[in-house]
Chains A and B, each alone.
Chain A
Amino acid sequence: MSEFIFLYRGSSRPTSPQDAQALMQKWMTWLQDLAKRGHIKDQGQPLDPVGKVVSGKQQTVTDGPFAEAKDLVGGYSLILAKDLDEAAALSKDCPIFDRGGSVEVRPVMKM
């Protein structure tokens, strides 16, 4: 098994408390199902939509946001899969797609 990172990008805000709860439950079910099938190395963490960027030789510090909301990384998970194709296939039921978001699947580089 190889390791992959899922980067969750963009997702619209819930329209109501009921909607937020339904969406959260979908995510929990999806992640639990991946874990049951042995594909989760680390469930990962959500990321706050604020932050700072430090860049250049001068180490200039600028405030986020860094990108459009639709491109912002909102969280990540560490996934176990046979190869990149399998890892990509595992992301297919991610609830983020219901909301116009995307999952970036990246292999962790091997030695």
Chain B
Amino acid sequence: MEPVESLFRRESGRMVAALTRVFGVHNLLLVEDVVQDAFCRAMEVWKFRGMPENPSAWLMAVAKNRALDVLRRERTARTFAPELTRLLESEWTLAPILDEQFGPDAIKDDVLRLMFSCCAPGIAEDSQVALVLHMLCGFSVDEVAGAFVASHAAMEKRLTRAKKVLTQSAQLFDIADATEFSRRLPVVQRALYLLFNEGYHGASSEFAVRAELCREAIRLAALLHAHPLGSTPGTDALAALMCLNAGRLPARTDSAGDLLALADQDRTKWDRTLIDEGERLLQQSARGPELSAYHVEAAIAWVHANAACATDTEWSKIVKLYDMLMAIRPSPVVALNRAIAVAQVEGPESGLKAIEAIENRDRLAKYPFFPAALGELELRAGRPSSARQHFQEALRLARNPAERRFLQQREIACAH
């Protein structure tokens, strides 16, 4: 799950979290400086001497030593983490407290603290996700902008605003406060869900970026899941839906990186280990009365993951699950997916009728897969010229070259 090519990114999140805990959230700039320093040092030394046996411990040690320097040098000029102030002031406790703070278990808690702090009510939902990606997953502003297909300037503005809210909060979120933890948990779950979705359905055309986003969302969800207060049936279900969907990710594009329709995907490419893990989590999520949207989405992904081919899929089960999802969390996108499932069970005309009946359809006006779905069903209903017009409309809305190539292929299919 954690390939060596994302080592620096992963370690960045851990270092930022540990340093923020010690320096205090108001010293975020200082934290970022120290982290950048540690990476420069690692890069310079490792390029000559090779990677050490435990690169993660090496980086943490560099960050810890730099933190010690900064704390000693700036003790009188700055205030640091308010809840640690007294321990950081005395030479008797300074080094031991840092050793403790940079230990592996403490860092896991630090990451959670920062994750919950990034999801503060004063930060807009889409900024929370960007902030998590930036702070905890080590994405630069440019890389976050790339992941969300936003301009550098727009993303910088969004992140600066979010960071300002974060640095102005008196201190990091207190994960030991059970009441506050439970209150903010749904917001954190939602942010991780959006992060995963950006990777799975998002507009970025680069497969590597998408897979990385999904991987990061799974990693953070696992961390949330490992905390006693975070391990709720809702988190089980969230982690399950991520694993069950990500397991199918390797088959979504062909060798050239082009998108494949569900029916054309090579199901032998699925990651069975992930799918099995998802199945285990889904079973575990049924341990209470809670039935969240994550439960239903995980169940839908599970039905897909258990079909040997697209025509073998139990579409009537999927329609029922979408009906449940519409009851819990209705949205035009959910309704569109439901309509596609209806078409699989009852034929294209029923599917078209179901699309016709979608409330707030205008909210899908910019979603390329809305006209594409119409095109698909018109084509199956034997009306290629109408289908073609829909695909042309979808092409106008395509968000990246991969979508464009996919839709062009569908448009060409209408000519036969």
Measured CB to CB, the residues of A under 8 A from B are 13-21, 23-24, 27-28, 31, 43-46, 74-75, 77
Contacts and interface: CB of A to CB of B under 8 A. Distances in A.
Interface string B110-151: 000000000000000000000000000011101100000000
Contact of A74 (B44, B50, B140): B44
A14 B140 CA distance: 11
A24 B42 contact: yes
Given A16-B142, A18-B9, A19-B140, A24 B36 contact: no
B47 A21 contact: no
Contacts of B48: 31, 43-46, 75, 77
Nearest to B16: A17
Contact of A75 (B8, B11, B44): B44
Contacts of B50: 28
B40 A17 contact: no
Contacts of A21: 5, 7-9, 43
Interface string B1-40: 0000111110110000000000000000000000010011
Interface in B84-100: none
Contacts of A15: 140, 142
Contact of A23 (B36, B43, B138, B140): B43
A31 B47 contact: yes
B140 A16 contact: yes
A16 B143 contact: yes
A27 B138 CA distance: 21
- Interface secondary structure of B, over-half rule: helix
Interface residues of B, number: 24
B9 A17 contact: yes
B46 interface: yes
A24 B40 contact: no
Interface string B44-77: 1111111000000000000000000000000000
A20 B12 CA distance: 11
Nearest to A45: B48
A81 to B, nearest CB: 19
A14 B143 contact: no
Contacts of B142: 15-16
A31 B139 CA distance: 28
Contacts of B49: 43
B31 to A, nearest CB: 14
Contact of A28 (B6, B8, B44, B46): B46
Q: Which of B5, B39, B43 has the most CB of A within 10 A?
A: B43
A24 B138 contact: no
Q: Which of A13, A14, A24, A27 has the most CB of B within 10 A?
A: A24
Given A13-B36, A14-B39, A24 B140 contact: no
